[in-house]
Chain A
Amino acid sequence: MNVILIAVIVLGAVGLVAALVLFVASKKFAVWEDPRIKQVSEVLPQANCGGCGYPGCSGFASACVKAAESGSLSDLNCAPGGQAVMEQIAGILGLQASAAAPKVAVVRCQGTCDVRPHGVEFDGAHSCRIQNMTGMGETQCQYGCLGEGDCASVCLFGAITVNPATRIAEVDESKCTGCGACAKSCPRGIIELRPQGPKNRKVVVLCNNKDKGALATKECKVSCIGCGKCVKVCEKFEAITLGTNLAYIDPDKCKMCRKCEEACPRGAIKAFNFPPRKPKEEALKVAEASKTPLATDAPKAPVATEAPKAAPAPVKESTVETPKQD
């Protein structure tokens, strides 16, 4: 009996002292944190992707609260959460959310193995950045996708993968949150973040080759040669500009008329998520006349990606700006 009593007393005393120490410590060393940080954190996706430029979601939350003091959230955007989350945050902080169009990553290279042969073999650590240090890489194009998958390894959402058959990175738009991690990881800057576009539609130059036409033709069968035909057909909207032997479509000005896609003699411009074209006589003629070697694979692509996208598209017709959350 005595033994039990002693044990109880000793343990109780130890517990009491420990509790006292903890209590004093928690009061003395308490760090005050703005309760709004916690509130903001709760609405964030907690993916800790770093797409916002801050160390994780809690970093972003404190940045939001700090920004609220200066009265504007305009520099901050949570890409994975999208507009909905930003509006919630704005609500918590009593501000107006700035309208930011949701974005997705686009891999601007179509240089698959059959159109851009891998003439040499890279032997070394599997990383695009390391392969890029060899200079040209495996193909003759020093601007194209290296296919070692640095982008895939940094994507936290499994939205980008390297297709082993084509050795090109491919984006699954339904998973992409537009955080931009892949774009930062690409040593050749091939991946671009572009606005999702109405019904996910967009028209993009899928090439990054800045070499002159003759050289670009040799390097890859679907390269942009900077001929400027697309610029001409887009004179009305002035959405297309020609950089160093490379065309660029400004997503803000593009009216999705797809004339440039038809005009491109190389098949370097691609329209995403459009319904299949009605077989117009003119269009067929253009296609046959200009891209004989590519006639087989070029029309196939839009149809293939179209199928899965057809279902979710109509649902979002009323609220186009809401990002998709699959």
Chain B
Amino acid sequence: MSNRLIVSLSPHVHSGDSVQKNMYGVCLALVPALIASLYFFGLGAAVVLITSIVSCVMFEWLISKFILKREKLSILDGSAILTGLLLGFNLPSNLPIWIVVVGALVAIGIGKMTFGGLGQNPFNPALVGRVFLLISFPAQMTTWPVSGTVGYVDAQTGATPLSLMKWAIQSGDASVLNDMPSALSLAIGQHGGSLGEVSAILLLLGCLFMIWRKIITWHIPVSILGTVALLSGLLHYGVSDVYADPASVLCSGGLMLGACFMATDYVTSPMVAKGQIIYGVCIGLLTIIIRNWGSYPEGMSFAILIMNAFTPLINTYCKPRRFGEVIRKEAKK
């Protein structure tokens, strides 16, 4: 025989699933929202997204080649592309290019590679980049162009639904909310905001695609959205009109993007269904708290990052239901 026989321990077959398939699967799920963002924000969206993706991949390559000196480079496993895509989705479409590049450097450099690269990072890299930019460049990060603008530089900017909501609560004047777009137009995407956040329906479609392809499970998105809907419903109908109605809350800001794509990031979310639900509920709770009573209009990214920090703890205490456990408890009784 020309080649040697191979021995290995079982199993001898594999499902054929791979890191690439999962990562590109998520990218594919983002495509509808991507098209929507190009439609609403035009050239600006394209410039920001391309810059973000290219610089993320480039920084990953540079760092793993020259700083970590890895022999095997894995820039095409899709994770850097995904980080770039998600970071871009979290930025306004009129953001200067250099700020996007800085964001990518922080996302990949500090958010991911300092911890050892794929699978090691405690925080979602794209969110680390976004929050860094939000704190460092608050002015540029919070002036969103109104959707429908086509150009890149001279975009009109306007108040977002989220700042209206905050204003309503701070002033105690429910009539402010009359300026809000309807929940339907929020869901479709006709309002200002970061470029990937605007079309709640298309993001939800992507999420369903991922659940169907078994890339993610339903636990995290459902528990986040459910908690937010429940709490905002209680506030709106039970407490006061100054709190926006649940439909608008669900469709505005980065909530849908965060719940479907950022919080479900494999590396930084809990492993077990029970833990995922705790994680999702806590994110929903924190988001509502920050949105309504915090100093920033949007709380999703902070909520996710805070819960990322708790993920190891959740993993330690939430164990899956072991086979035979039920019986043992019954026997004890």
Note all chain B residues with C-beta closer than 8 A to A121. 4-7
Q: A188 at interface (Cβ–Cβ under 8 A)? A: no
Residues 1-48 of B contacting A (Cβ, < 8 Å): 4-9
A176 and B4 CA atoms in complex are apart in Å by: 36
Note all chain A residues with C-beta closer than 8 A to B5. 119-121
A side interface size, CB within 8 A: 12
Note all chain A residues with C-beta closer than 8 A to B7. 120-123, 134-135, 138
Distance from A40 Cβ to chain B, minimum over Cβ atoms (Å): 36
Q: Indicate if the CB atoms of A124 and B4 lie closer than 8 Å.
A: no
Instruction: Give the nearest-CB partner of A120 in chain B.
Output: B5
Residues 78-131 of A contacting B (Cβ, < 8 Å): 118-124, 130
A138 and B7 CA atoms in complex are apart in Å by: 8
Q: Which of A120, A130, A133 is close to B6, meaning CB atoms less than 8 Å apart? A: A120
A123 and B5 CA atoms in complex are apart in Å by: 10
Q: Indicate if the CB atoms of A118 and B4 lie closer than 8 Å.
A: yes
Note all chain A residues with C-beta closer than 8 A to B8. 122-124, 134
A119 and B5 CA atoms in complex are apart in Å by: 8
Note all chain B residues with C-beta closer than 8 A to A133. 9
A135 and B7 CA atoms in complex are apart in Å by: 10
A1 and B8 CA atoms in complex are apart in Å by: 79
A15 and B91 CA atoms in complex are apart in Å by: 46
Distance from A217 Cβ to chain B, minimum over Cβ atoms (Å): 22
Note all chain A residues with C-beta closer than 8 A to B6. 120-123
Distance from B166 Cβ to chain A, minimum over Cβ atoms (Å): 35
Distance from A134 Cβ to chain B, minimum over Cβ atoms (Å): 5
A83 and B167 CA atoms in complex are apart in Å by: 78
Q: Indicate if the CB atoms of A134 and B9 lie closer than 8 Å.
A: yes
Instruction: Give the nearest-CB partner of A124 in chain B.
Output: B8
Note all chain B residues with C-beta closer than 8 A to A138. 7
Distance from A216 Cβ to chain B, minimum over Cβ atoms (Å): 21
Note all chain A residues with C-beta closer than 8 A to B4. 118-121
A294 and B6 CA atoms in complex are apart in Å by: 29
A133 and B9 CA atoms in complex are apart in Å by: 8
Distance from B7 Cβ to chain A, minimum over Cβ atoms (Å): 5
A61 and B9 CA atoms in complex are apart in Å by: 43
**Contact flags (1/0) for B86-120 with A, using CB distance below 8 Å?**
00000000000000000000000000000000000
Distance from A26 Cβ to chain B, minimum over Cβ atoms (Å): 31
Distance from B327 Cβ to chain A, minimum over Cβ atoms (Å): 31
A16 and B9 CA atoms in complex are apart in Å by: 64
Please indicate which of the listed interface residues B5, B6, B7, B9 has the most CB atoms of chain A within 10 Å of its own CB: B7
Instruction: Give the nearest-CB partner of A117 in chain B.
Output: B4
Note all chain B residues with C-beta closer than 8 A to A123. 6-8
Distance from B15 Cβ to chain A, minimum over Cβ atoms (Å): 17
A122 and B9 CA atoms in complex are apart in Å by: 9
A291 and B180 CA atoms in complex are apart in Å by: 95
Distance from B160 Cβ to chain A, minimum over Cβ atoms (Å): 42
A207 and B7 CA atoms in complex are apart in Å by: 24
Distance from B123 Cβ to chain A, minimum over Cβ atoms (Å): 29
Note all chain B residues with C-beta closer than 8 A to A118. 4
Distance from B4 Cβ to chain A, minimum over Cβ atoms (Å): 5
Note all chain B residues with C-beta closer than 8 A to A134. 7-9
A118 and B5 CA atoms in complex are apart in Å by: 10
A13 and B323 CA atoms in complex are apart in Å by: 57
Distance from A201 Cβ to chain B, minimum over Cβ atoms (Å): 40
Distance from A137 Cβ to chain B, minimum over Cβ atoms (Å): 8
A44 and B6 CA atoms in complex are apart in Å by: 47
Note all chain A residues with C-beta closer than 8 A to B9. 124, 130, 133-134
Note all chain B residues with C-beta closer than 8 A to A130. 9
Distance from B3 Cβ to chain A, minimum over Cβ atoms (Å): 9
A70 and B9 CA atoms in complex are apart in Å by: 50
A135 and B8 CA atoms in complex are apart in Å by: 10
Distance from B298 Cβ to chain A, minimum over Cβ atoms (Å): 37
Instruction: Give the nearest-CB partner of A133 in chain B.
Output: B9
Residues 120-154 of B contacting A (Cβ, < 8 Å): none
Instruction: Give the nearest-CB partner of B5 in chain A.
Output: A120
A274 and B8 CA atoms in complex are apart in Å by: 42
**Contact flags (1/0) for A129-147 with B, using CB distance below 8 Å?**
0100111001000000000
A120 and B6 CA atoms in complex are apart in Å by: 6
A121 and B4 CA atoms in complex are apart in Å by: 6
Instruction: Give the nearest-CB partner of A138 in chain B.
Output: B7
Distance from A167 Cβ to chain B, minimum over Cβ atoms (Å): 14
A120 and B1 CA atoms in complex are apart in Å by: 11
Distance from A308 Cβ to chain B, minimum over Cβ atoms (Å): 31
A124 and B6 CA atoms in complex are apart in Å by: 10
Note all chain B residues with C-beta closer than 8 A to A135. 7
A131 and B302 CA atoms in complex are apart in Å by: 47
Instruction: Give the nearest-CB partner of B12 in chain A.
Output: A123
A135 and B4 CA atoms in complex are apart in Å by: 17
A134 and B7 CA atoms in complex are apart in Å by: 7
A321 and B138 CA atoms in complex are apart in Å by: 72
Distance from A132 Cβ to chain B, minimum over Cβ atoms (Å): 11
Q: Which 8 A-B pairs give the minimum distances between C-beta atoms?
A: A123-B8, A124-B8, A120-B5, A121-B4, A134-B7, A123-B6, A121-B6, A120-B7
21 contacts between A and B (CB under 8 A): A118-B4, A119-B4, A119-B5, A120-B4, A120-B5, A120-B6, A121-B4, A121-B5, A121-B6, A121-B7, A122-B6, A122-B7, A123-B6, A123-B7, A124-B9, A130-B9, A133-B9, A134-B8, A134-B9, A135-B7, A138-B7
| Chain A residues near B (Cβ < 8 Å) | 118-124, 130, 133-135, 138
Query: Besides the contacts A119-B4, A134-B7, what 8 more A-B pairs have beta carbons closer than 8 Å?
Result: A119-B5, A120-B4, A120-B6, A121-B5, A121-B6, A122-B6, A122-B7, A123-B8
